Amino acid sequence: MRLIACLLAALLCFLPALSRAEGLAAQIVADNRAQIEKPSRQTIGPVIAAIAGSGDAMADDILSAWADKRLVIRKADGALLIATPEGPGLALMGLDGTPAGTATRAEVTELKPNAGVRGLIASALVQFTLTDPDPARRAEALSSIARDPSAETLAPLRAAITTETDPDLKAQKERLERFLTLRFDPDPTARVAAIESLGADIALDTRAALNPLLATTRMVVAGNVPPNIARPLIPGRDITEDEAYALLVGAGLAPARLSPEDQRAALVTHLSGGMVGGIALADLNSQAARDRAYTALEAAGTVPTAATDDEARAAVAAHRFVDAYVEQDRAVTDAAAAALARIDRKVALMQAADLGLDALSLAAIYFLAAIGLAITFGVMGVINMAHGEFITMGAYTGFVVQLFVPDYTLSILIALPLAFAITFGAGVAMERLVIRHLYKRPLETLLATFGISIALQQILKNVFGTQARPLTAPGWLDGALTFNDVVSISYIRIAIFVLAVIFLLFFLWLMKRTRLGLEVRAVTQNPTMAASMGINPDRINMLTFGLGSGIAGIAGVAIGLYAKVTSEMGADYIVQSFMTVVVGGVGNVWGTLAGATMIGSLQKLIEFLNPSNTLAAQTYMILFIILFIQFRPRGIIALRGRAAGD
Q: String of b and e for 527-557 (b: at least 16 CB within 10 Å)?
A: beebeeeebebeebbbbbbbbbbbbbbbbbb
Residue 480's φ and ψ, nearest 5 degrees, are -145, 155
If one compares 10 and 424, the residue with the highest pLDDT of the two is: 424
- pLDDT(107) > 90: no
- Residue 625 identity (one-letter amino acid): I
Q: Average pLDDT, stretch 539-557?
A: 88
The pLDDT, as a whole number, for residue 478 is: 83
E strand or H helix that includes residue 137: helix 135-147
- pLDDT(638) > 80: no
The pLDDT, as a whole number, for residue 422 is: 94
Average pLDDT, the chain: 82
- pLDDT(122) > 80: no
Per mean pLDDT, which range of 99-108, 193-202, 231-240, 631-640 is the poorest?
631-640
* Sequence spans of domains, the chain: 2-124, 130-214, 258-302, 352-645
- pLDDT(206) > 60: yes
Q: Average pLDDT, stretch 635-641?
A: 62
* Cα(437)–Cα(334) distance, integer angstroms: 76
The pLDDT, as a whole number, for residue 272 is: 77
The pLDDT, as a whole number, for residue 639 is: 56
So what's the architecture of 352-645 in CATH?
Orthogonal Bundle (1.10)
Of 40-49, 422-431, 481-490, highest mean pLDDT: 422-431
Residue 488's φ and ψ, nearest 5 degrees, are -160, 160
The pLDDT, as a whole number, for residue 19 is: 40
**CB of 322 within 8 A of CB of 226?**
yes
The pLDDT, as a whole number, for residue 338 is: 92
550-596: pLDDT as tens digits:
988 998 898 888 888 888 888 878 878 888 888 877 667 788 888 88
* The dihedral sign for the CA sequence 119, 123, 125, 130: positive
Q: Average pLDDT, stretch 214-235?
A: 87
Residue 11 pLDDT class (50, 70, 90 cuts): very low
What Cα–Cα distance (Å) separates residue 400 from each residue in 75, 456, 471, 519? 73, 17, 9, 36
Residue 18 pLDDT class (50, 70, 90 cuts): very low
Q: Average pLDDT, stretch 88-92?
A: 85
The pLDDT, as a whole number, for residue 613 is: 63
Q: Average pLDDT, stretch 361-371?
A: 85
Percent of the chain residues past pLDDT 70, beyond the cut:
93
* Cα(576)–Cα(571) distance, integer angstroms: 9
403-449: pLDDT as tens digits:
998 888 899 999 999 999 999 999 999 988 988 888 778 788 888 98
Residues 6+ apart with CB under 8 A from 195: 182, 210, 213, 332, 335, 336, 339
Residue 192 pLDDT class (50, 70, 90 cuts): very high
The pLDDT, as a whole number, for residue 563 is: 81
Tell which phi-psi region holds residue 274, choosing left (phi > 0), alpha (psi between -120 and 50) or beta. Answer: left
The pLDDT, as a whole number, for residue 612 is: 65
Residue 71's φ and ψ, nearest 5 degrees, are -90, 115
- pLDDT(401) > 90: yes
The pLDDT, as a whole number, for residue 9 is: 39
The pLDDT, as a whole number, for residue 644 is: 47
- pLDDT(7) > 60: no
Picking from 558, 596, 602, 559, the residue whose alpha carbon sits closest to that of residue 579 is: 596
Q: What is the crossing angle of helices 59-67 and 41-52, to 10°?
A: 150
The pLDDT, as a whole number, for residue 46 is: 84
The dihedral formed by the CA atoms of 588, 627, 597 and 343, expressed in degrees to the nearest 10: 160
